[in-house]
Structure 1
Amino acid sequence: SVVLPCSVDELLSVESLEVEWRRTDSETLVHLYQDGESRAESQQQDYQDRAHFFTDQIQHGNFSLRLDNLRAEDKGEYTCRVYSQQESGETVVQIKDVERLLVSSSDRSISASVGEDITLNCSVDSHIPPGDLEVSWKKTDKNKNILVLVFQNNETLSDLSDKQYRDRVELFPAEIPKGNFSLRLKSVRTEDKGVYMCQVFAGGLSANATAVLEQLGFSVLHIMMLILCISASGSALLLCCLIYCRSSTKGTNIKGKYSDLFFSFDVNKIFSTLMFSFSTIF
């Protein structure tokens, strides 16, 4: 918000008072005070609900205007004209520049499979050149923030990244001049799940937005490996059962090639191998 000043030294009769604020360049009506009240219905649509008088101060000669939710297009000259029965006068106020720093991200949570690459969105709307911005990506854990990536002095400082993200995160260099500071996270892991903050600094201004990495499932490759492992383990167990049953029917004196085959199997080793396969997948 910004206050555009306009006042008189001597008190004027409110009954015959008329005050109007206009854009000097286009004569667009920003706000009007007439017949003892604000005429919001007379405002140009772009200023409705954004331009306000200090109505309790008008009787004291203060006709200043508060302009909320400032926009880049609000830059320019504004004229305050005051009319009364005795006389009229005006003053001009200029908004030289509008500093803006808006950071936005996707409203939806991101779902991914383990091992995939994902993009966490971060868009910066600012009149400040990207090279003068400092952007940091952080993962906000329970009691601490984990530094994921830093962009500073027009370059990405990968060495400052936490070791669990080093060599797995990057920006899109071609998109940075457009204000796009989205983060690419490679080879997603289960521990990557959480809330990520894109924080932007420029001089005395700062703004941030968050992106949520929510659901982490298994990729198609992991599922196929799991199915193959289960199939292999089932086949191995079935083979052991068949050999055991075959050997049992022949009593304790097992001779020939079946004897050598049966005793060459170590059930404990088979079980250990299968458990190692499961642990590798997960």
Structure 2
Amino acid sequence: MRRSRCVLMSVLLMIADGLIVKGPSGPLVAPLGSSVVLSCSVDELLSVKDLEVEWRRTDSETLVHLYQDGESRTAAQQQDYQDRAHFFTDQIQHGNFSLRLDDLRAEDEGQYKCKVYIQQESGETVVQIKVNAERLLVSGSDQHISSSVGEDVTLSCSVDSHIPPGDFEEVSWKKTDEDIQVLLYQNNEAHSSNERYRDRVKLFPAEIHKGNFSLRLKSIRTEDKGVYMCKVFAGGLSANATVELERLAPGSIIKAAALLNQPHALHNAEA
């Protein structure tokens, strides 16, 4: 009987001495291309001496990242995770061994094990990543838009997504350098509450079902010059694109046109 008690006490001591490592309460769901944080921590880290933290895939034992001898061992990472998986190194001394994984890919879906060794103790937690295959891509103009005072201009914004048009929850156009909301599309209606842009901005209703949320800005003014952001919310995802509007003086436009016509004029004179 006494021997049984001794065995039971030994088991209890082993459990008590084990390192309790905490992770998230459930799977992490994130869209392709995003960043996700895989939680892994202990309540209190008394010493970083002999500390070692391993992040591995549970399906293949692939080494995602390693912290050892007081530093991140990036050279030990499997190549697919180099420059994508990072520790929060300034938080490790506080017992936070979480990993940030950038540019999420479809093949990143699966389970990851965080195993912590501190001197003679060890503990682990498992984190599951589920990749949301829906990806929201918003694109604007690749070049700066130039216009003259009094002209109309179109600021491009298009959405590349498999999300149905009815799932577009909100689209906002903002002038970011002044933090002004130019136009808001919500509940299938577009309106502008800012006095400067009221009656001067509109979307193209016939194009919305195609994911085209380009903005038509009428009668350009000097103060319209700046950076505009088109931000789209749809299907629980969000993405944005920016367009820069540059104003050219009317004289510059005329001069450019004159220079373009000059060779033709010289040719006629020679003729």
Interval of TM-score (by shorter of Structure 1 and Structure 2):
0.5 to 0.7
Number of the residue aligned with 1:106:
141
| Relative contact order, higher structure (CA 8 A, sep 6+) | 2
Unpaired stretches in structure 2, ≥5 consecutive residues: 1-35, 258-271
Selected match of 1:43 from 77, 85, 89: 77
Selected match of 1:215 from 247, 253, 256: 247
Output one character per residue of 1:114-167: Cα deviation in whole Å (capped at 9) or x when no partner: 88764323356889876243112245696x8363x43223x242587954325x
Number of the residue aligned with 1:135:
171
Asked whether 1:65 is paired with 2:98, we answer yes
Alignment of 1:195-210 (within 5 A): 195=226, 196-201=228-233, 209-210=241-242
Is the Cα–Cα contact under 8 Å of residues 203 and 213 in structure 2 kept in the other structure? Answer: no
Tell me how far apart the structure 1 counterparts of residues 81 and 158 of structure 2 sit (CA, whole Å): 26
Q: Which amino acid counterpart does residue 194 of structure 1 have in structure 2?
A: K
Task: Go from structure 1 to structure 2 and tell me whether the alpha carbon gap of 1:70 and 1:127 turns closer, same or farther (over 3 Å shift).
Answer: farther
Number of the residue aligned with 2:154:
119
Output one character per residue of 1:255-274: Cα deviation in whole Å (capped at 9) or x when no partner: xxxxxxxxxxxxxxxxxxxx
Selected match of 2:225 from 178, 190, 194: 194
Taking only aligned residues, the RMSD between alpha carbons, in angstroms, comes to 4.9
- DSSP-derived class of the 1:157 partner: strand
- DSSP-derived class of the 2:213 partner: coil
Asked whether 1:90 is paired with 2:120, we answer no
TM-score (norm 1): 0.51
Tell me how far apart the structure 1 counterparts of residues 42 and 130 of structure 2 sit (CA, whole Å): 21
TM-score (norm 2): 0.53
Asked whether 1:170 is paired with 2:204, we answer yes
Tell me how far apart the structure 2 counterparts of residues 134 and 112 of structure 1 sit (CA, whole Å): 28
Task: Go from structure 1 to structure 2 and tell me whether the alpha carbon gap of 1:94 and 1:117 turns closer, same or farther (over 3 Å shift).
Answer: same
Q: Which amino acid counterpart does residue 198 of structure 1 have in structure 2?
A: C
Instruction: Give percent identity, aligned residues only.
Output: 58
Is the Cα–Cα contact under 8 Å of residues 6 and 80 in structure 1 kept in the other structure? Answer: no
Tell me how far apart the structure 2 counterparts of residues 93 and 70 of structure 1 sit (CA, whole Å): 18
Task: Go from structure 1 to structure 2 and tell me whether the alpha carbon gap of 1:4 and 1:133 turns closer, same or farther (over 3 Å shift).
Answer: same
Selected match of 1:2 from 37, 44, 53: 37
Is the Cα–Cα contact under 8 Å of residues 170 and 234 in structure 2 kept in the other structure? Answer: yes
Asked whether 1:183 is paired with 2:215, we answer yes
Tell me how far apart the structure 2 counterparts of residues 87 and 145 of structure 1 sit (CA, whole Å): 55
The structure whose Rg is larger is: 1
Selected match of 1:157 from 190, 195, 200: 190
Task: Go from structure 1 to structure 2 and tell me whether the alpha carbon gap of 1:44 and 1:156 turns closer, same or farther (over 3 Å shift).
Answer: farther
